[in-house]
Structure 1
Amino acid sequence: MRAQALLLLCVLLLQAPGGQHSQKTNHLKAKACTKQPTEFTCGNHCSYFQHCPQNTICCSTFCGNICMNVL
């Protein structure tokens, strides 16, 4: 009986911290670009800490996450 209670406690503790972590990381991912980047745009890297200038978005390409023009 004591072993079952300990097992139940361990299972409940493992589930406790898991819920909030997945909610925070969902908005950090870069979406795939619809256009092919040029050599110039491959130098405009972006990330969660480096935001893109106005009228550009951070998207994922073969040369990494870069800022590309939305127009």
Structure 2
Amino acid sequence: MPAQALLLILFLCVLLPQAQGGHRKLIKEIKVCEKHTSIYMCRRPCEYHQDCQANNICCSTFCGNICMSLQ
């Protein structure tokens, strides 16, 4: 019985973080925005590149991470 309890604990230690999104991988690291930013861009916050629309990236500015066009 102790071996089964140990297996259950190990099983839960692997599954719970995955179910809570603990192993979410980023496509790219968040870097400082290369373009000039305005205060109006601060209305588009993000945490990951996936949070932004197509042809946009998530980058760091004075007001936090925002979505910015690649063009």
Give TM-score scaled by structure 2 length. 0.54
Number of aligned residues: 48
Q: Specify the alignment match of 1:18 in structure 2.
A: none
Q: Specify the alignment match of 2:46 in structure 1.
A: 46
Q: Which letter maps to 1:65?
A: N
Indicate whether 1:31 and 2:44 are aligned. no
Query: What RMSD, in angstroms, separates the aligned Cα atoms of the two structures?
Result: 2.6
* Structure 2, unpaired ranges of 5+: 1-22
Question: Matched residue of 1:40: which SS?
Answer: helix
Percent identity, please. 45
CA-CA distance at 1:29 after TM superposition: 3.9
Q: State how far apart, in whole Å, the 1-side matches of 2:25 and 2:62 are.
A: 21
Large movers: runs of 4+ above 3 Å: 24-29
Q: State how far apart, in whole Å, the 1-side matches of 2:55 and 2:35 are.
A: 15
Give TM-score scaled by structure 1 length. 0.54
